[in-house]
A = this chain, B = another copy of it.
Amino acid sequence: MSKQRINTMEELSIAIGVSRPTLSRYFQDRTLVKEKTVARIEAGLARVEYIPNFFATRLNRKSTGIIGVIIPYLNDLFFTKLLESVEVAAMEAGLTVITQCSHSDPAIEARAAETFMSMNVDGALVAPLGDHSDRAVHQRLKSRLPFVLMDSRPKTMPDVDYVGTNHAQSTGLIVEYLCRVGEPPAFLAMPRVNFNALEREAAYIAKMNELGFEPEVIGVHQVADGAFFEDHGEAVLDAEFARGRFTERSILCVNDRVAIGAVRAAARHGLTPGRAMKGGLRIAGHDDYPLCPYLSPALTTVAQNTDAIGKKAVSRILQIIRGEVTDPSPEITLFDGELKLRESA
């Protein structure tokens, strides 16, 4: 026997014998309704087929119960890990997460921000595109909604709540490790559109200077159209190896996706990083991309604590939403990286 299908709150009120205003309060926040009535409403709901309209129930509420999340790319396991951590933390807090991906396009990032403003989401968590982002879009979001940046932040937005990795610490840690057990590393960088890449490069240079070694940065220019991440790492080292350079060096890559390309270039030239006990090619990365342990050789890297970053971003936005923030200055939370010693260095 199929249940009676109910389409409106009026029909529901008649079908289960509870007044329309009481039902409204129940759907807004069940703690506003007496326990006995809650039990009666829930028994009634079990007897009928009724789905409250998502939009109607959120139209006049102070809170929509939605957190909007913007990530720059989808095809990157670092961002999917971060997003997973955000979703799990938000679910535990009873919130719905709506994610929009910028697909590397500032116009799409701007449209996502407009969507969240028009939804009146309770707050926005944004991992920005980097140099490509339109700063005005972030400023506008921040002026309208509780707003927290994750993963990377424009130097031009120092007044914003931010949760990310302490790149000075994380990059310093792996530079120190590489110097301690072998040759001081060169740094394989990225074309300069990425704030984190620049922060890590600066951290590398600072730590090398501190330890009394000469920094050497390669790969700052784009070698081929559309050659980012793995392709970039492979192309830069392929060219160097072909000229007989860097084949016995230590190379710290700006991130693991670049390092995956670097390891591939090594394989093409018959080199196995990390094999020699002393001296010889070594390659290390940054992030602890989920595939690092499965590479051959498994990649030595420094892990970003994506789980802590996601959880903290959610708890911070909840604090702002709930009006629990007393200090008006922005809160910057930086998590330390952790060495993951594997085979490649």
Binding site for B on A (CB under 8 A): 51-59, 64, 74-77, 80-81, 83-84, 87-88, 91, 96, 98-99, 101, 103, 108, 114-115, 117-120, 230, 234, 260-261, 263-264, 266-267, 290-291, 293-298
Q: Which B residues lie within 8 Å of A76 (CB)?
A: 80
Is the pair B234, A294 in contact by a Cβ cutoff of 8 Å? yes
CB-defined A-B contacts under 8 Å, sample of 13: A51-B117, A55-B55, A55-B56, A55-B120, A57-B118, A74-B83, A74-B87, A75-B77, A77-B77, A80-B80, A84-B103, A87-B101, A295-B295
Interface centre among A51, A59, A76, A119 (most CB of B within 10 A): A51
Central interface residue in A74, A76, A294, A297, by most chain B CB within 10 Å: A294
**Interface of chain A, helix or strand or loop or mixed?**
helix
Q: Which of B55, B80, B108 contacts A74 (CB 8 A)?
A: B80
Residues of B within 8 A of A260 (CB): 291, 294
On chain B, the residues within 8 Å of A290 by CB distance are 75
Complex: A324 Cα to B31 Cα, angstroms: 46
Min CB distance A267 to B, Å, is 4
Nearest CB in chain B: distance from A74 CB, A: 4
- How far apart are A88's CB and chain B's nearest CB, in angstroms? 7
Closest chain B residue to A262 by CB distance?
Answer: B294
Among A120, A234, A295, max chain B CB count under 10 A is at A295
Q: Assuming the A-B contacts A59-B59, A260-B291, A263-B296, are A118 and B53 also in contact, with contact meaning beta carbons closer than 8 angstroms in the complex?
A: yes
A53 touches B120 (CB 8 A): yes
